[in-house]
Amino acid sequence: MTVVEMQDLRKRYGKTVAADGMSLRVEDGEYMCILGPTGAGKTTALRMAAGLLDPDRGKVLFDGTDVTRVEPEYREAAMLSQVYSLFPHMDVNGNVMYGPRIKKWHPRESEDVAHNMLEMVHLHRRKDAMPNELSGGMQQRTALARALASGSKVLLLDEPLRALDARLRIELRREIRSLVKAMGITAIHVTHDQEEAMVIADRVAVLRKGRVEQVGTPREVFDNPLTPFVANFVGQSNFFIGKVVSSGEETVVENERGVTVRARPSPHPIGSEVAVAVKVGNTTLKLDEGFFLGRVERVLYEGVTIHVDVMAEGQRCSAKLPNRKFEEYSPGDEVTVGWPPSEAIVFALPPGGLQEELRLD
Amino acid sequence: MRFGDIYAVKDIDLVIRDGEYLTILGPSGCGKTSLIKIICGLWTPTEGRVSIDGVDVTDVPIEDRHVGYVFQNIALFPHMKVLKNVSFGPRMQGRTVEEGREIAEKSLRLVNMLERLEMFPRELSGGEQQKVSIARALASGARLMLLDEPLSALDARVRMDLRYEIRRLVKDLGITVVHVTHDQDEAMSVSDRIVVMRNGGIVETDTPMRLYRRPNNLFTAYFIGETNLMEGMVSGKDDRNLLVRLRDGTDVKVGGNRHFQVNDGVILSVRPEYVYTAKEGLHSTVLQVIYLGSYWRVVTRSNSADIVEYNIPKHREPPAIGDKVSLVFNRKMSMVYKRPREGTSEAIRLE
């Protein structure tokens, strides 16, 4: 019901630049994830959208209307944070009814809304419980029901699953998405967890150093990263550094030792220094098909995939392969590392060096 | 170990092998932290004994057990530089300043933090601080290391890199490790064996591969990795297969499991990668299609409301939402469990 726009937002805390020209448009009814490492400015972005923080410069628009200076309570945006922020002296029902009550809805209507919300988060049987009688997951579901019961058109979620156990996070992220989708509201969800973002979002905005580095569907961000950072942050990547030796339907890159690899077409001129990025899930380890030799260091059974570490060309690279291949590799085995050229992306070698570009924190 | 009338852990029998990487995995409140506190000597058990290398240490205080620990909340001394933090243990053991420095440098090199020697903890990122904590535990010379949720406070992506680094390091050094976590992906990546805990007891203990492929327990099947759970009834059997009738009447052939009898109430568990589409099978409707990078995940609902998920390769065209599909299951990779008396949702409840 609401389009949310952030236009060139800037925010500084002393010397730290938390938002450095952040722009993002979230469509009506869209589920947007803001994904990035600690310190990227994710929470700053969300708090500016909520009205809890004034930007130094830039605008926040709701449905085209400038709300940059509008107080939070008039924005019709509800916030769900990572710590369970329930009123400890109110029972579950009282917490959920809080929004409707201060908005002075008819008591009967408020009761109905609260009941519906609690039913949707499967807590209607616990409506008389006090927050301290509930588990962490139940508290967070109550907080979600409370946020949605207020009739807000925008839901802002600040790492809502961070404090929960890993398995519970998987259960709850599905519930959140289906609830938000069922109600048709616009959601902006901040997370450091790329898997969570991939599963829950319609589109993902990757944030880094106070700027939006890339916005796209989970598939676009995963398959067509615009920077080496995004390539490595959203799913791990292996990198191969060298110079472009030929360009055309494929880019051929050669390293100092004369090893050549092939990748997608790219605009980088012959002779320029580049880094070729390949997702670990697209990296192959075969007997004689590929680009260079390596030796298997270890093989880990991780469930749906196996993780194989290989020392090759003086560096470690990894491959994630289907679990049925577990018995095919042992430490010490010689393998050929390769990939489909269509899955390898060529980036200009970052000026500050690749290590610095990939830094996660 | 008991608090009042409540057992934090009960009837725990566990042998950790020399040089083994053992992970204790379970949801919050399962007793895993109590167990590691008993192993390291922070707590004394109400009943039972702990021994290290055959020597009973149940009554030996924590400082004399020669174990290294790393905790979730990074516990470096904030007023000391990295070097001093790491050489603190050796110095307390009576080493000279030079010896302490040498040991500290050696362990910092192992975690790739040597160049941070002169920094204060607050100048480091969370992941770097946790690496220094590991170096400090190594510097004490302990041959047994206890890691209590060492990665939980870190970002997901940092956790992913660090777990491989920790595994590599302790395996190269041949140290015995007990690692506590609630994160099943983490446990799968680092462990030689995993102890699955719930409600203060051990559910089962095995290698990551066995726990994923052949979990003995319904809870493990659900807790580790992802699985589809469907209620059914044994409708037939021969000497090689079991026939399970799902709620909508579809019969599914499952290998093995000969101890079940016809009419037994069962739960069928099949991981998404062992579900395929076929001409005839469990009739289902596509609810959602999710791109997961290496493959598509398709979420479906059967006519009897069983939610079944399966994977298809990324280069294949996924079905559209609302499409009808027929699903079949890999006969060898399907598991069957007795239907729990307390109900399926109670048997797999996480908290």
Q: Give every residue of chain B whose pLDDT is below 70, as ranges.
A: 1-7, 74
pLDDT at A108: 87
Which chain B residue has its CA at the smallest distance from A197's CA? B292
| Chain A 39-98, residues with CB within 8 Å of chain B CB atoms | none
Using CA atoms, how far apart are residues A291 and A146, in angstroms rounded to an integer? Answer: 56
Q: How far apart are CA A311 and CA A23, in angstroms?
A: 41
**Chain A positions in Cβ-Cβ contact with residue B208 (cut-off 8 Å):** 300-303
- Determine, for residues B292 and A199 on separate chains, whether the beta-carbon distance falls below 8 Å: yes
Radius of gyration of chain B (CA): 24
Same domain, A163 and A202: yes
Domain annotation covers residue A176: yes
Say if residue A120 is in the same domain as residue A175: yes
User: For the segment B77-134, what is each residue's pLDDT rounded down to a tens digit?
Assistant: 999 999 999 999 899 888 999 999 999 999 998 888 888 989 999 988 888 899 999 9
Closest chain B CA to residue A218: B291
Q: Are residues A110 and A185 in the same domain?
A: yes
Indicate whether A202 and A264 sit together in one domain. Answer: no
A182 in any annotated domain: yes
Q: What CATH code is carried by the domain that includes residue A270?
A: 2.40.50.100
Same domain? For A97 and A196 the reply is yes
Identify the residue among B155, B296, B321, B349 best suited for mutation to test binding to A, counting A beta carbons within 10 A and taking the highest: B155
**Residue A339 located in a structural domain:** yes
Contact B350 A298 (CB under 8 A): no
Q: How far apart are CA A208 and CA A193, in angstroms?
A: 14
Domains and CATH numbers, chain B: 2-219 (3.40.50.300), 228-347 (2.40.50.140)
In this structure, what is the dihedral angle of CA atoms A35, A38, A40, A44, given to the nearest 10 degrees?
Answer: 90
Going through chain A in order, the beta strands assigned E by DSSP cover: 4-13, 16-26, 31-35, 57-62, 65-66, 77-80, 154-158, 186-191, 203-208, 211-216, 237-246, 251-254, 260-263, 273-279, 284-286, 292-301, 305-312, 315-322, 334-338, 345-348
Distance CA B83, CA B87 (A): 6
For residue A198, give the CATH number of its domain. Answer: 3.40.50.300
- Complex confidence, ipTM: 0.88
Residues A149 and A96 in one domain: yes
Nearest beta carbon to residue B183 from set A166, A198, A318: A166
Structural domain harbouring A322: 236-344
Contact call for A300 and B208, based on CB within 8 A: yes
What average pLDDT does the segment A304-324 reach? 94
Out of A223, A251, A268, pick the residue that ends a domain: A223
Question: Best residue in B191, B348, B350 to probe A by mutation, most A CBs within 10 Å?
Answer: B350
User: Is the CB of residue B230 less than 8 Å from the CB of residue B308?
Assistant: yes
Beta-strand pair A203-208/A211-216: antiparallel
Evaluate whether residue A165 is within a structural domain: yes
Residues A205, A68 within the same domain: yes
* CA–CA gap between residue A335 and residue A296 (Å, rounded): 7
Residue A226 confidence (pLDDT): 97
In this prediction, residue B302 carries a pLDDT of 95
Q: What is the mean pLDDT of chain A?
A: 93
- The pLDDT, as a whole number, for residue B118 is 92
Cβ separation of A303 and B208 shorter than 8 Å?
yes
At B8 the pLDDT is 72
Residues A168, B27: C-beta atoms closer than 8 Å: yes
Among chain A residues, CA nearest to B155? A192
A326 touches chain B (CB under 8 A): yes
- Among A162-166, A289-293, A317-321, the minimum mean pLDDT is found in A162-166
Q: What is the mean pLDDT of residues A46-51?
A: 94
Alpha helices, DSSP H, located in A236-302 = none
CA atoms within 13 A on the CB side of B229: 20
Query: Which of B213, B291, B295 to mutate to test binding with chain A, by most A CBs within 10 Å of its CB?
Result: B291
The verdict on A282 and A337 lying in the same domain is yes
Q: Do A300 and B188 touch (CB under 8 A)?
A: yes
Question: CB B273 to CB A233 under 8 A?
Answer: no
For residues A286 and A209, state if they share a domain.
no
A96-125 average pLDDT score: 86
* Length of chain A as a residue count: 361
Contact B291 A218 (CB under 8 A): yes
Classify residue A24: in a domain, yes or no: yes
pLDDT digits (tens, 9 = 90+) for A167-210: 888 888 988 998 899 889 999 999 999 999 999 999 999 999 99
Q: Are strands A260-263 and A251-254 parallel, antiparallel or unpaired?
A: antiparallel
Do A39 and A155 reside in the same domain of the chain? yes
Query: What is the number of domains present in chain A?
Result: 2
Q: How far is B209 from chain A (nearest CA, A)?
A: 6
Do A250 and A214 share a domain, yes or no? Answer: no
Q: Say yes or no: A142 and A193 in one domain.
A: yes
The CA distance from A37 to A229, in Å, is 11
Flag whether A291 is in a domain.
yes
Q: Is residue A184 part of a domain?
A: yes
pLDDT digits (tens, 9 = 90+) for A230-279: 999 999 999 999 999 999 999 999 999 999 999 999 999 999 999 999 99
Residue in B closest to A232 by C-alpha: B157
Q: Residue A138: which residues within 8 A CB-CB, separation 6 or more?
A: A123, A126, B351
